[in-house]
Amino acid sequence: MAATRLTWREMAAGVWCAEVAEQSSPRLLDLAAGPPAREALATMPAAGFPLAGERTVSEQIAGRVVLRFPLRPDERLYGLGLQFRTLDARNSVRGLRMDHYGGQDNGRTHAPCPLYVSSGGYAVLVDAARTVTVHAGTAVRLDSTHPPRVLDRNRDADWTPNPVSDAVEIALSGPSVRVLVFGGPTPLDAVRRYVLYSGGGCLPPRWGLGFWHRVPLKFSDADVRREVADFREHGFPLEVLGLEPGWQSHSYPCTYQWDPERYPEPETLCRELLAQGIRLNLWENPYVSPEAEIHDALRPLAGSHAVWCGLVPDYALPEAREVLGRQHDREHLAIGVSGYKIDEVDGIDAWLWPDHATFPSGHTGEEVRQTYGLWLQKLLTELFRRRNRRTYGLVRGTNAGAAGYPYVVYSDCYDHREFIAGLCNSGFLGVLWTPEVRGAGSAEEWLRRIQSVCFSPLAMINAWADGTKPWSFPEVEHAVREAIGLRRRLLPYLYSAFARYHFDGTPPFRAMALEDPALEALDQYMMGDSLLVAPMFAGQQSRQVLLPPGRWADFYNGELVADAAEVTVTPGLERIPLFVRDGGILPLATDDDPTALEVRHYGRGEGTFVLYDDDGETYDYEQGAYNLTELRVTGDRDATTVPVRQSAPATYRRFEWRFMTQT
Ligand code: GAL
């Protein structure tokens, strides 16, 4: 069958869709947290269809549907699964498949989102819950309209093993598929459209952005009480305490029931912790033990294969969601549990069900694999929503369309540089990533890792295996406390950045390439609109930092750095390099008064920051119960604080301005 031109329909402002045959298999965006945020999309800058329509085609080839999209020689392609070593996926082949990351950017990863964002200012999503193979500018066709030059290796110095292709080719098991194109004009606009079309980004509860600590595998309630007391004695804050598999009576497979010996009175423990401002988060994986009370009810609703001898319930079935949901609500949510860590939904072939496994919903094993983490995020988020409580948790496997779910992706890999690259790349895909801290080979490494995690969506020590504590390396305890303290101070800024994720789709953590495609760094990133974070790695005394156009100031002392595209910094062990855009305004919490903010202005330029606040815990903001305050500085350092919306009790009443840069 010959290639057919795709027919594009505009679904919302700047979002187009084409369908090849009628799709009966599950689509990723059907699992999104909410419907497209049409109103927000309509306020974005106008965008025309970004591709040459006649060059967007599909073809049915040997049981596969193949798509082809035009590609210019200078385009860079970001995204294509959560990558940990690469920024630009161009010139590679990605087999996007749910898996634990195996050390190679080949498409097998914790978030195998079939989405690419072009430096040309648009994005393409293959909205299918299947393994998607993307030839990102590698497949050169004989009938190419812009063929690469034929070179001779014997004579031409610029001969390359990868002649430039004029197309992206995408193949997946056929015959149907739906594709979406998100317009720009900038790459960041395209990402924003994708996030908004998925319902907008998540807004975590305020406590979720505090400090987290996960305790060792087999901790008992007595161990937990001791750990909490230790935190207090050492003067470290703790907002969330995570329990690992030992809280359950059986794990791998799981019962989701409290172990009667280690946790005889979970309700009392939960209450005690909440009274100290500490929330519990529970580890689980989705494989149901024969010992679980809910096993028999789930047995007829499960797939054909077991994982760790446990059921794999088919959560596409409402009955299955109901069984797990009822048990979780009764035994966990009702006593105050704040959320979950959804482990092992990402794969490793030898553990998971095979692609030929069957499921009662009729979804194939491959489809369930690509979406299992999404189903669980949906189920658990909705459970909390029914109680009008926000949750925040972790998930090890997710996919496109998940921006609205309050879950942060993590991994068993542990390379610090890869972790930061993951943080940069997560922003393209509408997912959140944490470079969680477990152990370290030296005090220096410990501190460097803690500094980075404090500038991420989830500031957490995962001591499940190592039993580490923030003070595990006494020689840097004081600097660790400072890093955690800085995160706490930046919370009003970070919370407002998340509000932007929700309301206008801007990812709170994102690669420099979304500021300027020329900035190819994978070891520095933006947190919110004004703060540039450049982590240090063990063994490094100094590093280079790429600065986007405009002037930048040092966060700590407000000094403007040289007006250059690149600077070298030697920050010392105690500090993580941070830079603020000229005119940047950062609202910082103060230590003594929770209603007071220190509002810092950096550089010499004018600037505006929209401070968001609400009750921090419920979904009432969706009904409009939130406040917006415009913090503005005009040319002659005239600072104003203008309430632009007041629809909830105000969190902040005092604003103390501080001009960080000397005139
Ligand atoms: C791993 C997970 C770890 C820890 C452990 C407990 O799969 O990534 O963070 O939870 O399981 O068994």
Asked whether residue 487 is assigned to any structural domain, the reply reads no
Q: Based on the domain organization, do 653 and 526 belong to the same domain?
A: no
CATH number at residue 606: 2.60.40.1180
Q: Based on the domain organization, do 384 and 312 belong to the same domain?
A: yes
Q: Based on the domain organization, do 517 and 572 belong to the same domain?
A: yes
> pLDDT tens, 28-80?
999 999 999 999 999 999 999 999 999 999 999 999 999 999 999 999 999 99
Query: Residue 663's pLDDT is what?
Result: 77
Asked whether residue 488 is assigned to any structural domain, the reply reads no
Instruction: For the chain, give the mean pLDDT.
Output: 97
Q: What is the mean pLDDT of residues 225-231?
A: 98
Which of 545, 580, 615 is a domain's end point? 580
Q: Where are the beta strands (DSSP E) in 453-524?
A: 459-462, 509-511
Q: Based on the domain organization, do 576 and 596 belong to the same domain?
A: no
Q: Based on the domain organization, do 301 and 373 belong to the same domain?
A: yes
Instruction: List CB contacts of 478: < 8 A, sequence separation 6 or more.
Output: none
Angle at which helix 365-386 crosses helix 318-331, to 10 degrees, equals 40
Angle at 397 between CA 395 and CA 402, to 5 degrees: 80
Instruction: List CB contacts of 155: < 8 A, sequence separation 6 or more.
Output: none
> pLDDT tens, 277-332?
999 999 999 999 999 999 999 999 999 999 999 999 999 999 999 999 999 999 99
Q: Based on the domain organization, do 591 and 576 belong to the same domain?
A: no
- For ligand 1, mutation pick of 244, 410, 437, 461 (most atoms within 8 Å of CB): 244
Q: What is the mean pLDDT of residues 177-199?
A: 98
What range defines the domain where residue 549 resides? 501-580
Q: Whose C-alpha lies nearest to ligand 1, atom 5?
A: 464
> pLDDT tens, 349-393?
889 999 999 999 999 999 999 999 999 999 999 999 999 999 999
Pairing of strands 211-214, 459-462: parallel
CA 343 to centroid of ligand 1, rounded, Å: 7
Whether residue 227 has pLDDT greater than 80: yes
* DSSP states of 235-291: T---SEEEE-GGGBSSTTTB--SB-TTT-S-HHHHHHHHHHTT-EEEEEE-SPBPTT
Asked whether residue 220 is assigned to any structural domain, the reply reads no
Q: What is the mean pLDDT of residues 15-22?
A: 94
Asked whether residue 422 is assigned to any structural domain, the reply reads no
Ramachandran quadrant class, 634 (left: phi over 0; alpha: psi -120 to 50; beta: rest): beta
Q: Based on the domain organization, do 160 and 19 belong to the same domain?
A: yes
CATH number at residue 341: 3.20.20.80
Q: How many domains does the chain have?
A: 4
Backbone phi and psi for residue 367, each to the nearest 5 degrees, phi listed first: -65, -40
- For ligand 1, mutation pick of 99, 219, 285, 464 (most atoms within 8 Å of CB): 464
Q: Based on the domain organization, do 563 and 589 belong to the same domain?
A: no
Q: Based on the domain organization, do 256 and 323 belong to the same domain?
A: yes
Asked whether residue 329 is assigned to any structural domain, the reply reads yes
Q: Based on the domain organization, do 557 and 595 belong to the same domain?
A: no
Kindly state the percentage of the chain with pLDDT values over 90. Answer: 96
Q: Whose C-alpha lies nearest to ligand 1, atom 8?
A: 412
Pairing of strands 9-12, 15-20: antiparallel
- DSSP secondary-structure letter at 472? S
Q: Encoding tokens for residue 367?
A: 């489809």
Spatial distance between the Cα atoms of 476 and 237, rounded to a whole number of angstroms: 17
Asked whether residue 90 is assigned to any structural domain, the reply reads yes
- Establish whether residue 344 lines the binding site of ligand 1, counting it when its CB lies within 6 angstroms of any ligand atom: yes
Which of 333, 358, 391 is a domain's end point? 391
Ligand 1: which atom is nearest the Cα of residue 283?
A: 10
**Residue among 561, 641, 567, 545 nearest 603 (CA):** 561
Q: What is the mean pLDDT of residues 562-566?
A: 84
Asked whether residue 459 is assigned to any structural domain, the reply reads no
> pLDDT tens, 98-145?
999 999 999 999 999 999 999 999 999 999 999 999 999 999 999 999
**Residue among 209, 194, 254, 527 nearest 376 (CA):** 254
Asked whether residue 180 is assigned to any structural domain, the reply reads yes
Residue 607 near residue 585, CB atoms below 8 Å: yes
Q: Which helix H or strand E contains 481, and what residues bound it?
A: helix 477-489
- Establish whether residue 251 lines the binding site of ligand 1, counting it when its CB lies within 6 angstroms of any ligand atom: no
Alpha helices in 142-234 (DSSP H): 187-197, 221-234
Q: What is the mean pLDDT of residues 443-461?
A: 98
Q: Which residue has the tokens 């944490």?
A: 434
Spatial distance between the Cα atoms of 111 and 138, rounded to a whole number of angstroms: 22
Q: Based on the domain organization, do 274 and 361 belong to the same domain?
A: yes
Q: Based on the domain organization, do 181 and 289 belong to the same domain?
A: no
Which of 391, 407, 440 is a domain's end point? 391
Amino acid occupying residue 355: D
CATH number at residue 152: 2.60.40.1760
